Amino acid sequence: MKTYVDAFLTYGIDHQIITDFDRAKQSLYQLYHLPLGDYEKTTKPIDEVLAYLLDAAYQLKLFHPNTVLERDAYEAYLFDLMMPEPSKVKQTFKRLSDTDKEKAFSYLYQLSKDVNYIKTKRIAQNIHFNYNSPYGNIELTINLSKPEKDPKDIAKALEETIDDKKGPKCVLCKENEQNYQNARMNLRIVPLELASRKWHFQYSPYLYFNEHSIILSDTHKPMHINKTTFKALFDFIDFMPSYFVGSNADLPIVGGSILNHDHYQSGRYHFPIEHAKVIKTYHDIERVTISHLYWPLSTIRLASNDRYQLEELAAHILSSWKTYEHKHLEIIPFTTKPHQTITPIARYKNNTYELDLILRNNRTTKAYPDGIFHPHQEHHHIKKENIGLIEATGLAILPGRLKEELAHAYLYLKEDKIHPSLQKHILWLNQLKDQKIISHKEDLYQEVGKIFTHVLEDAGVFKLDDSGLLACDTFIQDTIKAYKKM
């Protein structure tokens, strides 16, 4: 036992996680009922050390049940015993960012990885591939990193009485920092001021792209896209120009999975949409370039070195989109509720601010109960979840079930072996069979890319056909005219 506790401490020293060695050693020795002897430098692979320490903790009845979720929570607790306190991390981030922002962000990133808050090893299991679509390269990920809830976890949650008024209201709340719930004892967040309001920055535990991070509102309040959003996004870009930042839309169906806590996503990443071709450029406003992108989701790109002009213009486009109607194209802004909003993404490129505004509509009908501009039913076997910011910009996050299902699908195409999980794919697979286009497994992945591209097309409000292009052009021109009159 002592060997493993010492190996854990050695890892902490080697990765410069430990701020107070005596405190860390004492806590860990006590936890594992070790006599307070001398620490001996011991090196072992960290995964082996953690597995041993978690098994031992379970034997000592320090947590239950023995599920991935509960093991994660206890592992976070073990790291918290040796890592710097939240206030220390905030001080260090502030001190570093005063002189070098890159250093400050890389400090928090490295710390989050070293204490396993970012689940690097699980993320490595994800499957990545590319598809060369008519809109350019589309990136796809089959997400195998997030553990699914064990029935034992669900049973445990039922046993617990919910009487925790001080605790976090959702997984994004700042109260999650150093909280045992949701395995966040090892979470450290840093404050930011954006658009004169308080926000907090943290890295995402399941990075979907490089340095995937989340900026959360200080208070638990619903997502809301307005002029202040654009201001906040540019404030962040000014603070950290090498990261992009964007927000999910603020309506169900077209938004992300969390609508009740205002937040943005950021990272050091270039999504496929960045390289989209341009259909038409408008130069009617001084020092601003407006472009309609050749992209399946209707996207207007604003570019300028004057961020304030972009904030004004974006707010104007948002408000005119909110009331825009084109019945023939099924674009109807209100029924009993408003349906139109925007997914905005900001970046700084070649000394220019860029702001992509993706036009969204979440209306449902009898024919499209999940949403007219949402993955259509015939594509649900591949993707039925919301098309949020990440996917709208060309990076598909596909459900983990697809790994197995595609393996079975390939066997079906090659050897006619049918598996029960193929039921939902059968129409598609029989089409592929008829077309005789699958000779390698890679071909099947390409067909998945094709379907995902159709999913993105489903989500586009102005289709890229004659009537869609004409309507979008008119919308942009009318909006510019009205803006110039203001």
261 vs 307, beta carbon nearer Zn ion: 261
The answer to whether residues 462 and 472 touch, using CB atoms and an 8 Å cutoff, is yes
Would you say 2 or 220 has its CB closer to Zn ion?
220
- Sign of the CA dihedral with 414 first, then 419, 421, and 423 last: positive
By CB under 5 A, residue 258 contacts Zn ion: no
257 or 350: CB nearest Zn ion:
257
* Interface segment toward Zn ion; rule CB under 5 A; list 37-45, 213-221, 240-248, 288-296: 213-221
d(CA 256, CA 275) in angstroms, rounded, equals: 23
Q: Binding segment for Zn ion among 137-145, 255-263, 374-382, 457-465 (CB under 5 A)?
A: 255-263
Q: Is 227 exposed, middle or buried (0-12, 13-18, 19+ CB in 10 A)?
A: middle
Minimum distance from CB of 259 to Zn ion (Å)? 11
Give me the least distance between CB of 262 and Zn ion, in Å please: 9
Q: Is 172 in the site for Zn ion (CB under 5 A)?
A: yes
Using DSSP bridges, classify how beta strands 395-398 and 136-142 pair: parallel, antiparallel or unpaired.
Answer: parallel
Binding-site residue total for Zn ion (CB under 5 A)? 6
The piece of 168-176, 339-347, 375-383, 403-411 that touches Zn ion (CB under 5 A) is: 168-176
Q: Is 307 in the site for Zn ion (CB under 5 A)?
A: no
Among the residue ranges 26-34, 256-264, 359-367, 374-382, the one whose residues contact Zn ion (CB under 5 A):
256-264
116 vs 111: CA distance, rounded Å: 9
Give min distance, CB of 179 to Zn ion, in A: 12
Judged by beta carbon, residue 200 or residue 425, the one nearer Zn ion is 200
Q: Nearest to residue 210, comparing CAs of 284, 265, 142, 152?
A: 265
Given the complex with Zn ion, which of 119 and 174 has the nearer CB atom? 174
**Within a 10 A sphere around the Cβ of 221, how many other Cβ atoms?**
10
Q: What distance in Å separates the CA atoms of residue 73 and residue 91, rounded to the nearest whole number?
A: 26
> Per CB under 5 A, does 218 bind Zn ion?
no
User: 137-149 in b/e burial notation, b at 16+ Cβ within 10 A?
Assistant: ebbbbbbbbebee
Distance CA 233, CA 263 (A): 11
CB nearer to Zn ion: pick between 173 and 297: 173
8-state DSSP, 324: -
200 part of the interface to Zn ion, by CB under 5 A: no
Q: How far is the CB of 389 from Zn ion (least distance, A)?
A: 18
Q: Among residues 173 and 357, whose Cβ is nearest to Zn ion?
A: 173
Single residue of 170, 279, 329, 411 touching Zn ion by CB under 5 A: 170
Q: Does 406 bind Zn ion (CB under 5 A)?
A: no
**Residue 166: both structure tokens together:** 């001080």
220 or 270, CB closer to Zn ion?
A: 220
Which listed range, 148-156, 219-227, 294-302, 370-378, lies at the site for Zn ion (CB under 5 A)?
219-227
**Interaction between residue 189 and Zn ion (CB under 5 A):** no
Segment lying near Zn ion (by CB under 5 A), choices 134-142, 215-223, 356-364, 437-445: 215-223
**Helix spans in 299-425 (H):** 307-323, 389-392, 401-415
Q: Which is nearer to Zn ion, 173 or 187 (CB)?
A: 173
CA dist., res. 263 & res. 270, Å (int): 20
Looking at beta carbons only, is 261 or 360 nearer to Zn ion?
261
Which residue among 169, 227, 268, 380 contacts Zn ion (CB under 5 A)? 169
Q: Which of 261, 292, 376, 381 binds Zn ion (CB under 5 A)?
A: 261
How many residues comprise the chain?
Answer: 486
Q: Which stretch binds Zn ion (CB under 5 A): 70-78, 91-99, 165-173, 195-203?
A: 165-173
**Considering the rule CB under 5 A, would residue 220 count as an interface residue with Zn ion?**
yes
Q: How far is CA 75 from CA 14, 69, 91, 180, in A?
A: 18, 10, 25, 10
Q: Is 173 a binder of Zn ion (CB under 5 A)?
A: yes
Name which of 263 and 376 has its Cβ closer to Zn ion.
263
Does position 188 interact with Zn ion (CB under 5 A)? The reply is: no
DSSP 6-25: HHHHHHHHHTT--S-HHHHH
Diameter of the chain by CA atoms? 79
Q: How far apart are CA 395 and CA 253, in angstroms?
A: 18
Of 163-171, 287-295, 391-399, 470-478, the window that binds Zn ion (rule: CB under 5 A) is 163-171
Which segments of 15-100 does DSSP mark as H helices, in order? 21-31, 46-59, 68-80, 86-99
Helical packing angle, 227-239 and 307-323, nearest 10°: 150
- Can you give the binding site for Zn ion, defined by CB under 5 A? 169-170, 172-173, 220, 261
